[in-house]
Amino acid sequence: MAERTVKFGGRQLAVRGPKLEVGQKAPEFKLVGDDLKEVSLKDTTGKVRILATVPSLDTGLCDRETRRFNEEATRLPGVEVLVASMDLPFAQKRWCGAAGIERVRTLSDHRAATLEAWGVLLPDVRLLARVVFVLDPGDVVRYVEYLPDAGQEPDYGAALAAARKLL
């Protein structure tokens, strides 16, 4: 299998981990919430989820993406929106407070412990690739968009439509 790459800052970086496909069972994850408590996939099971992985909340595009999902979440009752990055939980909490983010739950993979199984780890820069997943209540991937360029915004409409279809 050829190495997957993503464009990041003008260069191609290797992506570690398998590329998940629609219909596949989502792998477990163990991330850290802004309260420093561990959050696993099974902690979120039973509801429709949008999981977006981003390089860092402190960048313009990641800021914009997370704010957009926060805004859209107001029109998606019954959908939990999760945004994961390698940012430390303290930084995520600070950023959410400053940005007024109340409907998105930020999660940290600062230990680079589990999101490799989701095919989003950029080991050369120790960040996550920009990817959007929609999971059904039984943890099956129902939508996925791996962005080939970290400087590109996801297709919000397609992700939101996939989540609405599951409600």
| Half-sphere exposure at residue 3, Cβ-oriented, CA atoms within 13 angstroms | 10
Domain CATH number, residue 82:
3.40.30.10
Confidence of residue 119 (pLDDT cuts 50, 70, 90): very high
**For the residues 4-27, what does the mean pLDDT come to?**
96
For residues 57 and 84, give the distance between their C-alpha atoms in angstroms, rounded to a whole number. Answer: 9
Domain count, the chain: 1
How far is the C-alpha of 85 from the C-alpha of 87, rounded, in Å? 5
Residue 2 confidence (pLDDT): 60
In a domain, 16, yes or no: no
Do 91 and 55 meet the contact criterion of CB atoms below 8 Å apart? Answer: no
Report the catalytic residues: 62
Q: Kindly state whether residue 1 falls inside one of the protein's structural domains.
A: no
The answer to whether residue 17 sits within a structural domain is no
Going from the C-alpha of 12 to that of each of 46, 85, 124, the distances in angstroms are: 37, 19, 10
Specify the pTM. 0.97
Asked whether residue 148 is domain-assigned, the answer is: yes
Whether 131 is covered by a domain: the verdict is: yes
Residue 33 resides in a domain: yes
Alpha carbon distance 148, 137 (integer Å): 28
Tens digits of per-residue pLDDT, 50-96?
Answer: 999 999 999 999 999 999 999 999 999 999 999 999 999 999 999 99
When pLDDT is averaged across residues 21-33 and rounded to a whole number, the result is 97
Residue 21 corresponds to which amino acid?
Answer: E
Residue 33: count of CB within 10 angstroms of its CB: 17
The answer to whether 43 and 161 are in contact (CB under 8 A) is: no
What number is the average pLDDT over the span 120-139? 97
- Residue 1: pLDDT above 70? no
Look at residues 81, 76, 54 and name the one whose alpha carbon lies nearest to residue 65: 54
Tens of pLDDT, residue by residue over 87-106, are: 999 999 999 999 999 999 99
Answer yes or no: is 67 within a domain. yes
Instruction: State which residues form the domain around 135.
Output: 22-166
Q: State the helix-helix crossing angle for 156-166 and 60-73, rounded to 10 degrees.
A: 30
Residue 66 lies in a domain: yes
